[in-house]
Each structure stands twice: as structure tokens, then as C-alpha cells.
Amino acid sequence: MKQSDLVPYAGREQGFVKHQLLSAYLQRFVMILGQHCPRIVYVDAFAGPWESATDDYRDTSFGQAVRIMRACQEQLEEKLHKRVRFDALFIEKSPAAFAKLEVFVANEKGPEFNISAWHDDFQNCVTRIADFIGSDFAFVLIDPLGWKGIISPSALAPLLKKRRVEVLINYMWKFLSMAVGHQHEAAQLSNLKEIFGEGLAEAPLAGDPDRECWLLNLYRKRLVESSVASGAERTRSVSFPVQYPGSTTSKYFLVHVTHHDLGVIKFAEASEKAHETQQSVRFCVIQQRREKKTGNGDLFSDQDAPSEAGQEALEQPWLELLPVAGCEMCIGQPEMAEMIERNNCFIGELQRGLLNLQKQGVIVNLDMKRARSKNGVNFDKTERLKRLV
């Protein structure tokens, strides 16, 4: 990351992290599917532009998505001789923002890259979006300003139920946490039940450190339940926390819903990269604030050290998978996707935990010819693990 990349995001640096994750995952999504599918659809259901500070909208989600899809289209054609048709659909409710969006669309659209813009309210057109996608593969971004009546599993069901549609939802914890604090008000409770269902009543009390994670997991579970809830090919969901600029407190979570193991794995890989970016952004913001305050950019404090979050070595998931000595199991993409989803974690955290257990002689990789420094299991090749003690 270059410091100059952050300039258009001054004061809203969390947007940079969001766009990095979106771009990194979209690139993987398109390059994988583009090898097999003649048409790929991308929908930005709350397109903006919102607080953009550039002429070419490179600091917006739709600007980023068009850049990525164009680059992928070229690569697919040049390197793999695959011609993929892209259909992008941007929806925006505000007349002022839509006027700008229309100009962008008019300049960018072409015969192999069709872009449509609808001046509409997302809630009015969910079914129409589903029809627009048809039976093709699609990625849908739901990035509203609020949450009421928008991100509930029932409102999103027409999209969630489509087996070829992946959805990325901004779960605006900043506002949801406040609403949860006011659930004694009847209107608030009814809105919240749309999101969390009756399970809300069981949530940890205010002040409990588990509350944020517990409610997020309940929401993820409900999204899956409104799609394909069980079976080997059930829908899966993972999330990524986006923090307030210069802080480690979560502002919102990007919740990813996919129907494929590879979707979970690729999102986890992109998330791990976005996590590194988030650490660098946090460091930059703290430095900039200090420079502004003291005029001295060289001062350094412990507060600036990268946080440990996302850097853990998770041993417990492996011990649960292989509960007693003598247990043996093949670890391929489905098993890895299951572990990522269950623990809502990065692949690196699982690999570090496994390496620790291998060093302690608790688990052995039967297919590993020599010691590895990074990956305790190569799940792309489906390797066998055995618990020894």
C-alpha cells in the first residue's frame, strides 16, 4: 500500500480497506468463473457515488469493480482465449448520486461490457435483480447506509436462494449495536427480530465481550438458513471486520455468503490480505494524526504496534476435528472451508495452529515428505492428518 492511495479516503479510511477486500475477492471470483462461464453478472445495489474525492471514481466500489472486471476480461481473453460477457448493474436511490452514476455508466459501457444503472430503491427491486441475473453466476454487493428492512435474511432471500449468486453484505455494527441497546423499545425490537430472529432474546447482555461475535454469528446462521441450510452443498458464510480509522474497534463487518467451498477459501485468502492492509492503514492514520498534533512524525508509541487479532495460532479446531489419538482424516477444500466458516478465521491462523501441534508431536501429516515452515497441510492436494496423542 502506498500512502498516496489513502489520500482520496481521508477521514473514511475504512472505505479503502473495504474496497481492497472487494477488489481482491472479485478478481479471484471472476478469474475462476470466467474460465467456464460465458456471462458473469456484478450488482452493486447501493452504488453511490458516496463521498468520492476522485474524478474517475477509483475510490468507489463501482469504480473499483469496473476496473477489476475489465482487467480480468482482458486477461481471460489474452491468456486463456475465453470471451466472457460482463453485465454490471448499479442501483442508486439518491437523484444527485444517480446523475453522476449515469455519466460514469455512459462513458464505461461497451458491447462486451454492458453496464446498466437503475434509479430505484433497492427494496423495490430485489426480485427484478434476481431476474436480471437469471441462471448465471453473479456477485452482489449490499452496502447501504443503514440496515432496517434491507439486510434482513428475508429481504435478501430472493438473492440468497440462487445457487450461483454470492452476496457481500455490509453489516453495520455501528448502528446495529446501538439498536440492540434499545431493544426494550417495541419498534426497535421488531426491526431487530427481522435481522436476528427470536434468538435475539438469548444474546449475551450489554457489556459482555462476546456480544458482538455472538450476534454476528446468529446473523450469519440466519442468512444460511434462508438459503440452503443443510447438506454437503449447503450455503456458507464468513465475515471480515472493518475497523474505525486508527482504531481496532469494529465499525462494520463485511459478511460473505457463498454456495461453494472455494468461495469460502478465496474470501478467506482475500480477507487475510485485507487484514494486513488494515494494519498498515491504522498505522498510517495514527502517524498522520500525531504529525498533525505535534508536528513531529517520528514519535512512536506502543499503541502503534500491530494488533494480535487475526494472527492467532488456532489449535483447538484441529483437536476437535481429530478428537482422540489414532483418528485420521483427509483435509481437502471442503474440510478447510468448513473449519474457516465454523471459526470465522483466516487460513493462516489454522495453519499456524496445526504447525504448533505438529511440532508438539500431537498431529502428524502423513503426506508431508519434509518439515514445512508455513503450511501444516496442503488442502489443495488433500493431505491426510493423524492424531498421535
Residue 132 in contact with ligand SAM, rule: CB under 6 A: no
CB 66 within 8 A of CB 58: no
Interacting span for ligand SAM (CB under 6 A) from 31-39, 86-94, 191-199, 376-384: 86-94
List binders of ligand SAM among 143-172 (CB under 6 A): 143-145
Cell 492428518, residue located: 385
The correct pick among 92, 261, 341, 383 for binding ligand SAM (CB under 6 A) is 92
Q: Which is nearer to ligand SAM, 253 or 379 (CB)?
A: 253
Residue 91 in contact with ligand SAM, rule: CB under 6 A: yes
The cell for 77 is 481473453
Q: Which is nearer to ligand SAM, 76 or 165 (CB)?
A: 165
Residue 56 in contact with ligand SAM, rule: CB under 6 A: no
The cell for 117 is 444503472
CB 120 within 8 A of CB 91: yes
Residue 100 in contact with ligand SAM, rule: CB under 6 A: no
The correct pick among 61, 226, 344, 375 for binding ligand SAM (CB under 6 A) is 61
CB 238 within 8 A of CB 344: yes
Residues that contact ligand SAM, how many (by CB under 6 A): 18
Interacting span for ligand SAM (CB under 6 A) from 43-51, 228-236, 244-252, 340-348: 43-51
Cα gap 384→93, rounded to integer Å: 52
Considering the complex, what minimum distance in angstroms separates the CB of residue 51 from ligand SAM? 8
Handedness of CA 268, 274, 278, 280 (dihedral sign): positive
The correct pick among 75, 94, 277, 378 for binding ligand SAM (CB under 6 A) is 94
CB 349 within 8 A of CB 315: no
Residue 118 in contact with ligand SAM, rule: CB under 6 A: no
Residue 60 in contact with ligand SAM, rule: CB under 6 A: yes
Q: What is the DSSP letter of 200?
A: G
Phi and psi angles of residue 54, each rounded to the nearest 5 degrees, phi first = -125, 155
Considering the complex, what minimum distance in angstroms separates the CB of residue 23 from ligand SAM? 11
Cα gap 386→389, rounded to integer Å: 9
Interacting span for ligand SAM (CB under 6 A) from 28-36, 142-150, 277-285, 371-379: 142-150
CB 171 within 8 A of CB 219: yes
Considering the complex, what minimum distance in angstroms separates the CB of residue 367 from ligand SAM? 43
Cα gap 377→381, rounded to integer Å: 9
The correct pick among 25, 46, 104, 137 for binding ligand SAM (CB under 6 A) is 46
Cα gap 275→349, rounded to integer Å: 12
Considering the complex, what minimum distance in angstroms separates the CB of residue 121 from ligand SAM? 4
Query: In the chain, what is the straight-line distance between the N-terminal and C-terminal CA atoms, in Å?
Result: 44
CB 150 within 8 A of CB 144: yes
Peptide bond into 49 cis (omega under 30): yes
Interacting span for ligand SAM (CB under 6 A) from 73-81, 90-98, 287-295, 351-359: 90-98
Considering the complex, what minimum distance in angstroms separates the CB of residue 100 from ligand SAM? 10
> Which residue ranges make up the site for ligand SAM (CB under 6 A)?
15, 18, 46, 48, 50, 60-61, 91-94, 97, 121-123, 143-145
